[in-house]
Amino acid sequence: MLSILFVEDDDTIAMGVEYSLKQDGFQVSLAHRLDEARDLLKRQPFDLVLLDLGLPDGSGYALCKEIRAAGDTPIIILSARDEEASIVLGLDLGADEYITKPFRLRELISRMKAVLRRGATGAIEASDRTLTCGDVTVVAQQAKVYKNGREVPLTALEYRLLLTLFANQGRVLSRGQILAQIWEVDGDFVNDNTITVYIKRLREKLEDDPQNPALIKTVRGLGYQAGD
């Protein structure tokens, strides 16, 4: 059974989510404060951490950083803060996903499963394809990305996004089409800022000039396109 640490000080949310996760076969440990969460983390390993940001004894960001420094346990931040800066900070501190409140329970659970699946296999799709666009190559079998022959480390979600764009080279993908690939749920659920953040991060890692992207282009009003 997969064990989940849920750090959340709002009892209504905590109890609702705990109930649903248990129905779905997860084992759930609840912490209402950072110090409780730290105690639980010392006592047992968890398969995934769901983390609120505003907690009575401090910020969830601090715990996110600590968990990431200690290992690669998947972290999903659940927060009412939906500004791009908050999302970027959470991802920079090592969170795998950032879900804004209010969220739907089905959405949360499918995204948890997606994160756990990625963590389990290390590769998104079993594929022996090698996809090249410009000076960037995705070797799907190894789940690795190279620019000019040098490996570029990507997070699981960045990799998934790049793979989706490269597999559809020359086609404009709408945000909805991209989100459906990334989260495997109806794109309607997802905060639009999230995809903007991921595209930006991919450009920063892969483009020669992230301000004038040549690899991943924005097609105004339509979506994004890799290649010509």
Chain residues that interact with Ca ion, rule: CB under 5 A: 9, 52, 54
Residues in the chain: 228
Q: How many CB atoms lie within 10 A of CB 133?
A: 19
Shortest gap between Cβ of 80 and Ca ion (angstroms)?
8
- 189 vs 104: CA distance, rounded Å: 8
Q: Which is nearer to Ca ion, 75 or 131 (CB)?
A: 75
Token pair of 107 as six digits: 């959405």
Shortest gap between Cβ of 48 and Ca ion (angstroms)?
19
Strand partners, 78: 52, 99
Q: Which is nearer to Ca ion, 32 or 160 (CB)?
A: 32
Q: Nearest-CB residue to Ca ion?
A: 54
Shortest gap between Cβ of 14 and Ca ion (angstroms)?
10
Q: Which is nearer to Ca ion, 9 or 107 (CB)?
A: 9
Under a CB-based contact definition with an 8 Å cutoff, are residues 158 and 205 in contact?
yes
Q: Which is nearer to Ca ion, 47 or 52 (CB)?
A: 52
Shortest gap between Cβ of 52 and Ca ion (angstroms)?
4
User: Closest by alpha carbon to 200, among 73, 94, 92?
Assistant: 92
- Tell me the residue type at 84: E
